[in-house]
């Protein structure tokens, strides 16, 4: 949204800027040396010309005959960024430096009317004063005779026009051969000075015939002074400014005046040509016009009047045009502004609508999401409720079942306990009874835990407080774990203060909490680890903690371990998940707390805090309820099977992570098999490859490598692919069975199993294997492997394919190499990618022959084929099939076929 707005504003600004674009305006500064009629006329012309140029502004400043003021004026123009300066210098010597300075700083300068010393200007415009002087002389000659007395009133001393006008006049007089000037004086261009000097000159020359004044103002002054003196000399002036000079001629104040051309408009045009980089004349000399005297003064004045009038009209028109133009500009600006506002308005409306639509869509989405969330919440709620009801009924069911189980279990437990210690048991019976005894105890404890937990939930669990010495009790409880610690090389440290720690607790419950915490620590701490139990009483609170440096618990699991039935490892649980929740219940009944800190890989610390209370009774030390047997029932495995190896029996590999199962299966099978065991899949694969057993019994759920994967690897490995695998699992669901077969398993037995079934399945698998061997054996008549299509009951296709491929490869190699006397079992085994003993067991398993027997049999068969099908000599054939001597060949042949090779040849030749 904001992005759109920025773009729109930018676009509008561009439009506005384009609309307001204006041509560059030139600033022209005009510095007049003084303010007289001639200059006024010129200023009028300048202003008139400027009217025709939209992009020009002009500022005219008069120095009022002051050099200093003129210098200041010129500096003012330069400092205020005027584009060009036009100056009529008052006195050349005084003004030249400032003009030079400005000119050299890069500002163009036009000098007019009067010159400066040097060439420091961009352009010069002036009338030819000398020519004017000369014309005045010729006119004077026309007015008076050649003997006439002439007085000259000059302009300002040092001013260039004054000098030129004088020089021209003198030259003109000389040309016409007239008499010279009788007197001359400087009237400084102004009326007063001229009147003053004229007065004194008239006193000296009352008979003067003609006065030549360098401008009309001075001429008028002279005329008035002459009148006062009662004389009437002819008077000539210069400038012919309409209201002064020409008016004076019309009024017969003076006789004639010479037009000193102003041409202000020309100055502006030259300035613009310079500024626009167009061609211009650097020096412009204005032409001299004829005199204005009584004959034409009226007309000139009239012309001037009409010019003035026209100028007035032009001014008016100009002001009207300006007016219109400013109105037009205002309207244009208004138009653009309106356009911009309109655009902004449209943009704003568009954005508003867009955000409205987006909002609506968003709202619809939110409503939809809300609805979905509500649906989900409702579903969650109902699922939770269902779960709660299910859990509740499960618990009720468990409790009921537990109740029902307790009595039969007690009835089992007692006889089993008796039987374990019976003196007349065989070792195998003793071992099986041990397993039964241990598991009965576990079941017993589990049932008690469930019942206690249920009681706690129903608020029916009581605490029987009694004063005890906690440190004594804890020492005794800890003793039960000592032998387990020794067995696993675990440093079991009990940290206890020396003094007594007497307080009232329900000793039985706290003992169970202690047992749970310490046995958990043992379950999750590997051999050579450390478990530390410590306790103290401080600030009216008993604290005891169990710390281990075992596997630790992840952050997510840590938050949940006190929930009932929560187990971190759901696949390979080491308990029922009820221990900690019950411990928490027991501690809460004591008004205490239990907490855990743990870090994966570093270990865990469980801390129990119970407020110290006392009851009115002396401290007792109840006997511990849990003894070493309970500890080993909970944590330890019963001793492993004692295996007596008998070379006649087939070799059975049992893979299971539960030591009791390993032991049970071992005990059950040890009469019929030689047994090796592995406690996880990885170890199982290693032993299978190393010993190439005749049959494998494998659990499905195992740590490190599960049973399915383990089976798959065994079935893909050449050395082990032929071994029948029986999967033993607690999962009886069909799809898991299919998964088991997919991985190549040959049979499947669900837990709990009967020993008879297990034995029967193993037996049948081994028998199947034997049958297959026989098929291979018979197929060996022609030294190729049996076709894969041959029925192989109980054997999966995968293992057949691998075994066929193996056998064909072996036959192909052996047939081409059999003539080689150096061919040994080792060479062939390594060619087939197996070790010597693996190769031996594989060949034996597939063909029932040892490799040496198989080689000999294959050689003899090939020899027989050569004897019957070729003319090769017997010794040739003997060497060709790989016998070291013909004599040995003959012996072996007779042993195998009941006749010697030569007897066969004789039979054939007959
Ligand atoms: P169980 O009775 O199955 O042992 P508990 O309630 O006692 O169950 O424990 C809950 C879970 O907490 C267990 O599954 C176990 O993984 C984890 N746990 C308990 N104590 C420890 C420990 N000291 N180290 C690592 N994990 C532990």
SS3 254: coil
**Range with the poorest average pLDDT among 31-35, 136-140, 750-754, 874-878:** 750-754
Q: Is 529 in the pocket of ligand 1 (CB under 6 A)?
A: no
Q: How far apart are alpha carbons 827 and 805 in whole angstroms?
A: 19
865 C-beta neighbours (distance < 10 Å), count: 14
Distance 514 CA to ligand 1 centre (A): 13
Predicted model pTM: 0.45
Distance 583 CA to ligand 1 centre (A): 11
Indicate whether 876 pLDDT > 60: yes
Compute φ and ψ for 91, nearest 5 degrees. Answer: -120, 125
Q: Is 567 in the pocket of ligand 1 (CB under 6 A)?
A: yes
Is the pLDDT higher at 566 or at 867?
867
- As a whole number of Å, the end-to-end CA separation of the chain is 112
pLDDT band at 801; cut points 50, 70, 90? confident
pLDDT band at 16; cut points 50, 70, 90? low
CA 566 to ligand 1: nearest atom: 10
In terms of Cα–Cα distance, which of 827, 829, 830, 905 is closest to 871? 905
Question: What 8-state DSSP symbol labels residue 246?
Answer: I
Strand boundaries in 187-255, DSSP class E? 210-213, 234-239
Q: Buried b / exposed e across 773-800, counting CB within 10 Å, b at 16+?
A: beebbebbeebebbeeeeebeebbeebb
Write down the pLDDT at residue 795: 35
Write down the pLDDT at residue 532: 95
Indicate whether 224 pLDDT > 90: yes
Count of all residues that appear for the chain in the document = 910
Which burial class, exposed, middle or buried, applies to 326 when counting CB atoms under 10 A from its CB (0-12, 13-18, 19+)?
A: exposed
Beta bridge partners of residue 492, listed in sequence order: 531
Q: Which two tokens stand for residue 181?
A: 């000037």
Indicate whether 480 pLDDT > 60: yes
Asked whether the beta carbons of 869 and 879 are under 8 A apart, the reply is no
Is the pLDDT higher at 845 or at 524?
524
Q: For 605, what's the count of Cα atoms within 13 Å in the CB-facing half-sphere?
A: 8
CA 603 to ligand 1: nearest atom: 24
Q: Is 743 in the pocket of ligand 1 (CB under 6 A)?
A: no
Q: What radius of gyration, in Å, describes the C-alpha atoms of the chain?
A: 67
Distance 556 CA to ligand 1 centre (A): 13
Asked whether the beta carbons of 498 and 535 are under 8 A apart, the reply is no
Distance 550 CA to ligand 1 centre (A): 12
Q: Is 603 in the pocket of ligand 1 (CB under 6 A)?
A: no
pLDDT band at 797; cut points 50, 70, 90? very low
Query: Which CA distances in Å does 771 have to 469, 605, 722, 736, 753?
Result: 71, 59, 13, 28, 26
What are the pLDDT digits (tens) for 885-904? 888 889 888 888 888 898 88
Write down the pLDDT at residue 358: 93
Mean pLDDT value across residues 326-350: 92
Write down the pLDDT at residue 8: 60
**Range with the poorest average pLDDT among 86-90, 174-178, 441-445, 625-629:** 625-629
Residues whose CB is less than 8 angstroms from the CB of residue 871 and which lie 6 or more positions away in sequence, other chains included: none
Indicate whether 799 pLDDT > 50: no
Task: Give the mutation target among 545, 561, 573 for probing the ligand 1 site: most ligand atoms within 8 A of CB.
Answer: 561
User: For ligand 1, atom 12, which residue shows the shortest CA distance?
Assistant: 561
What are the pLDDT digits (tens) for 391-424? 778 777 777 777 777 778 877 887 887 888 788 8
Q: How far is CA 577 from the centre of its chain?
A: 44
Distance 528 CA to ligand 1 centre (A): 20
Write down the pLDDT at residue 707: 85
Asked whether the beta carbons of 468 and 500 are under 8 A apart, the reply is no
Q: Is 517 in the pocket of ligand 1 (CB under 6 A)?
A: no
SS (H, E, C) 849-869: CCHHHHHHHHHHHHHHHHHHH
Mean pLDDT value across residues 864-879: 88
Indicate whether 162 pLDDT > 70: yes
In the chain, the percentage of residues whose pLDDT exceeds 70 is 89
Q: Is 344 in the pocket of ligand 1 (CB under 6 A)?
A: no
């Amino acid at each position: 949204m904001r992005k759109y707005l920025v773009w729109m504003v930018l676009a509008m600004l561009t439009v506005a800027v384009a609309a307001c674009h204006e041509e560059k305006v030139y600033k022209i500064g005009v510095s007049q040396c003084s303010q007289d009629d001639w200059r006024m006329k010129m200023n009028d012309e300048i202003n008139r010309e400027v009217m025709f140029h939209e992009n020009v502004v002009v500022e005219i400043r008069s120095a009022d005959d002051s050099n200093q003021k003129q210098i200041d004026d010129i500096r003012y123009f330069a400092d205020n960024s005027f584009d060009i300066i036009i100056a009529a210098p008052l006195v050349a010597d005084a003004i030249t430096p400032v003009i030079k300075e400005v000119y050299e700083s890069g500002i163009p300068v036009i000098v007019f009317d009067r010159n400066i010393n040097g060439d420091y200007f961009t352009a010069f415009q002036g009338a030819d004063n000398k020519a004017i002087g000369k014309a005045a002389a010729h006119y004077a000659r026309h007015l008076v005779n050649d003997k006439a007395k002439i007085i000259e009133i000059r302009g300002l001393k040092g001013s260039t026009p004054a000098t030129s006008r004088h020089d021209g006049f003198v030259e003109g007089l000389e040309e016409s051969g007239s008499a010279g000037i009788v007197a001359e004086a400087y009237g400084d261009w102004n009326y007063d000075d001229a009147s003053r000097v004229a007065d004194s000159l008239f006193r000296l020359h009352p008979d003067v015939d003609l006065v030549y004044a360098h401008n009309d103002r001075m001429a008028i002054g002279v005329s008035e002074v002459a009148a006062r003196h009662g004389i009437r000399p002819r008077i000539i002036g210069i400038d012919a400014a309409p209201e002064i000079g020409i008016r004076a001629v019309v009024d017969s104040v003076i006789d004639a005046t010479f037009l000193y051309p102003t041409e202000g408009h020309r100055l502006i045009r030259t300035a613009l040509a310079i500024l626009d980089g167009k061609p211009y004349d650097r020096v412009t000399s204005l032409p001299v016009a004829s005199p204005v005297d009584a004959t034409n003064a009226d007309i000139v004045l009239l012309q001037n009047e009409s010019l003035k009038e026209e100028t007035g009209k032009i001014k008016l028109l100009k002001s009207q045009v300006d007016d219109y133009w400013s109105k037009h500009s205002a309207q244009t600006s208004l138009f653009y502004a309106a356009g911009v506002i309109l655009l902004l308005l449209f943009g704003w409306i568009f954005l508003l609508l867009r955000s409205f639509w987006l909002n609506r869509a968003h709202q619809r989405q939110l409503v939809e999401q809300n609805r979905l969330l509500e649906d989900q919440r409702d579903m969650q709620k109902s699922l939770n409720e269902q779960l709660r009801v299910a859990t509740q009924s499960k618990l009720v069911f468990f409790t009921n079942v537990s109740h029902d189980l307790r009595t039969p279990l007690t009835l089992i437990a007692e006889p089993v306990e008796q039987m374990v210690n019976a003196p007349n048991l065989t070792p195998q019976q003793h071992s099986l009874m041990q397993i039964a005894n241990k598991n009965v105890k576990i079941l017993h404890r589990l049932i008690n835990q469930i019942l206690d937990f249920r009681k706690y939930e129903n608020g029916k669990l009581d605490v029987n407080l009694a004063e005890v010495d906690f440190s004594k009790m804890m020492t005794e409880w800890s003793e039960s774990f000592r032998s387990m610690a020794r067995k696993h090389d675990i440093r079991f440290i009990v940290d206890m203060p020396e003094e007594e720690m007497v307080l009232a607790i329900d000793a039985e419950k706290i003992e169970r909490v202690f047992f749970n915490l310490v046995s958990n620590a043992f379950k999750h701490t590997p051999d050579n680890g450390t478990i530390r139990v410590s306790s103290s009483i401080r600030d009216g609170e008993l604290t005891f903690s169990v710390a281990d440096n075992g596997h630790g618990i992840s952050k997510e699991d840590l938050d949940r371990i006190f929930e009932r039935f929560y187990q971190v490892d759901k696949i390979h649980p080491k308990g029922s998940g009820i221990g900690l929740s019950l411990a928490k219940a027991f501690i809460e009944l004591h008004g205490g707390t239990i907490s855990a800190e743990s870090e994966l890989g570093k270990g865990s610390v469980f801390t129990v805090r119970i407020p110290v209370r006392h009851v009115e009774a002396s401290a007792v030390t109840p006997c511990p309820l849990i003894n070493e047997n309970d500890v080993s029932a909970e944590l330890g495995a019963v001793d492993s099977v004692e295996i007596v190896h008998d070379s006649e029996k087939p070799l059975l590999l049992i893979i299971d992570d539960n030591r009791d199962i390993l032991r049970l299966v071992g005990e059950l099978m040890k009469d019929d098999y030689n047994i090796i065991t592995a406690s996880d899949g990885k170890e199982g694969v290693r032993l299978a490859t190393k010993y190439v057993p005749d049959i494998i019994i494998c659990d499905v759920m195992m740590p490190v490598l599960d049973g399915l994967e383990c089976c798959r690897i065994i079935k893909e490995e050449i050395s082990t692919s032929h071994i029948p695998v029986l999967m033993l699992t607690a999962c009886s669901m069909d799809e898991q069975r299919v998964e088991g077969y997919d991985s190549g398993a040959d049979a499947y037995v669900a837990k709990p199993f009967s020993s008879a079934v297990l034995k029967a399945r193993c037996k049948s698998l081994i028998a199947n294997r034997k049958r297959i061997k026989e098929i291979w054996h018979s197929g060996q008549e022609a030294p190729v492997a049996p076709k894969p299509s041959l029925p192989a009951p109980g054997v999966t296709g995968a293992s057949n394919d691998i075994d066929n491929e193996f056998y064909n490869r072996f036959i192909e190699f052996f047939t081409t190499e059999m003539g080689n006397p150096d061919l040994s079992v080792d060479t062939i085994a390594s060619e087939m990618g197996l070790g010597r003993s693996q190769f031996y067991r594989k060949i034996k398993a597939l063909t029932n022959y040892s490799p040496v027997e198989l080689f000999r049999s294959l050689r003899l068969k090939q020899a027989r084929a050569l004897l019957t099908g070729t003319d090769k000599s017997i010794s040739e054939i003997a060497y060709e099939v790989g016998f070291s001597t013909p004599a040995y060949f003959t012996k072996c042949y007779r042993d195998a076929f009941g006749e010697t090779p030569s007897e066969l040849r004789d039979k054939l030749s007959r």
